[in-house]
Amino acid sequence: MDQGNLLTLPAVPWKAEPVGNGDHSRLLLDLYDREQAPLKRYLAMLGVDPETARDVVQDGFLKLHEHLLAGGEQGNLRAWLYRVVHNGARNTQTSFGARRTGSIDDLDPAASPAAKDLSAEDELLDKERERRVGHAIAQLSVTQRDCLVLRSQGLKYREIAEALQLSVSTVGDNIQRGLERLKELI
């Protein structure tokens, strides 16, 4: 027995610290109002069906609440949320990567606000262009597409980097190469 390994309990070791229980509901609901639709659109671009996306987004906000209750970092909650939702989507889909391809082709061109008030010819051209854009986006690499989609939702490079767990320079590279690829394909 090592006699040098001698520990002494503190004199008053049992004083409990009060545990904070701040009300984060307002912050979370404000964030929900702003981000739920962009998050669901992002999930749609990942090939997640709308009903599953609703569940994944709700779970994401509940995880964020747990994170806040645990005193977690509050630096960039939007990026944190996108990361959790991205991972949540991955967990809900057994063939996540495979199902992502072609998801853009499933988008409904009629849902576009620009589809209204157009002549029949313009509308046809518009639909044709949307089809080609969808097809081109579907041909991007997964990372290029994720970066471009998140960028289109207004996320800064550092937020995209945090959400996708990439470096900021990798995000910049993928955005640039993704746009170049789109230019070639369209």
Partner 1 sequence: MKCERLSWDLLVKAGDKELSAGEAQFVTDHLAQCADCRRECQEIERFSGYVESAVNRAAVAEQPADREQLAARIGQQARVKAIRAPEKVLRRFGWGMALAATLALGLIVAPRQKAQLTDTTAGSKPAAAESSAIEVDGETFVALPYSNPDLPSLAPRIVQMQVPLSSLAAIGIALEPVASQVLNQDRSVLADVLLGADGQPLGVHVVSWE
Residues forming the site for partner 1 (CB under 8 A)? 1-3, 5-14, 16-17, 19, 21, 23-25, 28-29, 32-33, 36-37, 40-42, 44-45, 50-51, 53-54, 58, 61-62, 65-66, 69, 104, 107-109, 111-112, 114, 129-130, 133-134, 137, 148-149, 151-153, 156-157, 172-173, 175-176, 179-180, 182-183, 186
Instruction: Give the nearest distance from C-beta 147 to partner 1 in angstroms.
Output: 10
Closest to 185 measured CA to CA, from 145, 132, 144, 146: 132
Give the 3-state secondary structure of residue 33: helix
Question: Whole-angstrom Cα distance, residue 51 to residue 49?
Answer: 6
Question: Whole-angstrom Cα distance, residue 131 to residue 125?
Answer: 10
Give the 3-state secondary structure of residue 165: coil
Instruction: Give the nearest distance from C-beta 135 to partner 1 in angstroms.
Output: 10
Complex with partner 1: residue 29 or 125, whichever CB lies closer: 29
